[in-house]
Structure 1
Amino acid sequence: MIDRLLGRAELKERIAELEEANRHLERRAEAEEARRSDAVADRQRAEERVNELEHRIESLEERLERTGGDEAAVEYRRVSDARGARLDDALDRLRAIESDDPEGLLTAFVPDANAVPESVSDWFGERTALVRRAAPAVVLADDTGAVSAAITPPVEPAAFDRWDDRFRLERSWFRPAGTLVFAVVRSDTFALGVYEDGDRVDFEGFTSEVKSAHSKGGFSQGRFERRREGQIEEHLDDANSAIAAYADGTESAAIDADRVIVVGERSVLGRVREHADVTDVSDATGSPKEALDDAFRDFWTARIHAI
């Protein structure tokens, strides 16, 4: 009675309605988050399937090209991409192999098709063509013929070849180890992460306004292009300064990084490679964090060729 007289009854009803609406929105948000997680997982599975199909297409196209040529018709037994736990498992299996013969296992890094060492060509014979196609790659073989593979490492070591009682497969070639600075640079997007043994512990990212098309009227085409190039230059200057701050000990962001890796558009890498130990092309897009996550995952992916 008193609540109705003072108008509090309507307020209480309104509060109850708002609380119910809030609970409904919370449930929608939870459902949306679940759908987003499922979508990410579905996308990753789809990307892996696309990669497998692309490998099969490339193999068939190469086989077709060689059909009318003089090159021996040799094919990989299998080609696959591996990252994360799957790659760790594959490498651990190979590292576990030991030989009683101190020269029973061959490991070599072949940097390109024209740099195949004699030890590799002698062992593989006509299959050396597959090694050339896989390069740059770490090549593995044993003197029984049970192991025969070439693995493309994310980080290329110096060329070497040796017969030993174990395969040489250093973790730093294939997996993020120690303190790592990893950055992705596009003409309008920058993202940088600091990683400790693969886990991100720091992040910096930003986007810059860069005109992408010349609208009718207004600036001439030449003036538009000059303005756009100036915007890109300013963006790359900011990106370069951010990388330097983490990599070279300038500013408060300085860390003791074991390695600095910068990936991004081929057209801009030359402007930011000064402070990088490793650079690579990446087509990762999206927000800075999305681009960084995609580029990091793609970079630490190894292609395994079974020869």
Structure 2
Amino acid sequence: MLDRLLGRAALKERIETLAEERSSLEAQLESADENRRAAERARQEAEARVNRLEDRITELEDRVKRAEGGERTVQFRGELALRGDRLETVLSRLESFRAGPDGAMTAMVEGSPPEPVRDVLGDRTPLVGRAAPALVFADDETLLSVALRPPVPPAHFVEFDTSFHVDRDWFQPRGRYTLALVRADLFAMGTYEDREQVAYEGFRSDVKGDHSKGGFSQARFERRRDQQIESHLEKAHEALSAATEPLYVVGESTLLSEFESEATVTRPVDATGAPREALADAVDRFWRTKLYLL
């Protein structure tokens, strides 16, 4: 009765009402945040699908042009993604191969195959252009002819010897290095000794997802999103200033150009999820080698 007389009852009821409203708003915010993350994941997955479709379209268009031009269509004898023990087996076999004087060609091809490669592979040369950038291993009798797309490609070269030139640093994690994953809303960086992670840093940033009807116009929304991404990238650059070299940066293809001056290698990688888990996935994907049987 005293509370009622002093007006405390009404105040307490108001406090309870506001507490309920606060809890409701917190639940809405949590749901909105989860929807934002889901929208961002969906956007990244859609971007990955678009990239794969564009690669397929380019391949098919190339085949059509060759067919219209009267070229004999040649196909890879097989394609494989190598890692772990399987990669070790392939590299060991390449290292064990022996040929006559200058009978084993090793070439790093970044674009159009150079003349020495064309001379060795003949009508199978177009396959090298489709696999590039890739290391090509072939003997003068073409008993063995493969292309490998390594995680850390060397500069262009062509050499002939009695054996193939195989440098494990091109294919496998060796020594100390840093690998960083960059997405529009996420950054994760690990320092490694071979395959063992010895240091880690990661964070998420509040970056708006897809535009929805509401208080922001499309133009204002895009400006706001660009500012958020710019701020996120500034934090990423600051974190990378302490990175161990060599530095490998992977992630969204639209962002990688921001890090080309800092990184030894940049590569698009589709890795989603929380920072630590996404980084582990990115490391696994980065250290895979694509094998093409020519």
TM-score range with shorter-chain normalisation?
Answer: 0.7 to 0.9
Q: Does 1:93 align with 2:93?
A: yes
Instruction: Check the 8 A contact 1:239/1:272 in 2, yes or no.
Output: no
Identity %: 46
> Which aligned pairs between 1:37-52 and structure 2 lie closer than 5 A?
none
Match of 2:204 among 203, 207, 222: 207
Q: Secondary structure at the match of 1:124?
A: helix
CA distance in 2, matches of 1:181, 1:154: 14
Corresponding position of 1:127: 124
Corresponding position of 2:231: 234
Q: Does 1:292 align with 2:291?
A: no
Q: Secondary structure at the match of 1:166?
A: coil
CA distance in 2, matches of 1:306, 1:124: 12
Q: Secondary structure at the match of 2:188?
A: strand
Q: Tell me the TM-score normalized by structure 1.
A: 0.72
User: CA offset at residue 70 of structure 1?
Assistant: 1.4
Corresponding position of 1:217: 214
Corresponding position of 1:144: 141
Identify unmatched segments of 5+ residues in structure 2: 1-52
Closer/same/farther in 2, CA of residues 263 and 108 from structure 1, 3 Å limit: same
Corresponding position of 1:278: 265
What is the one-letter code of the residue matched to 2:292? H
User: CA offset at residue 285 of structure 1?
Assistant: 1.2
CA distance in 2, matches of 1:216, 1:60: 39
Corresponding position of 1:84: 84
Closer/same/farther in 2, CA of residues 215 and 108 from structure 1, 3 Å limit: closer
Q: Secondary structure at the match of 1:81?
A: strand
Identify unmatched segments of 5+ residues in structure 1: 1-53, 248-256
> Which aligned pairs between 1:8-23 and structure 2 lie closer than 5 A?
none
1:208-251 deviation line (CA, Å, top 9, x unaligned): 1111133433233333222222211111111111111224xxxx
Q: Tell me the TM-score normalized by structure 2.
A: 0.75
**Count, aligned residues:** 239
Instruction: Check the 8 A contact 2:103/2:139 in 1, yes or no.
Output: yes
Q: Secondary structure at the match of 2:138?
A: strand
1:14-60 deviation line (CA, Å, top 9, x unaligned): xxxxxxxxxxxxxxxxxxxxxxxxxxxxxxxxxxxxxxxx9xx8999
CA distance in 2, matches of 1:201, 1:141: 39
Closer/same/farther in 2, CA of residues 271 and 67 from structure 1, 3 Å limit: closer
Corresponding position of 1:165: 162
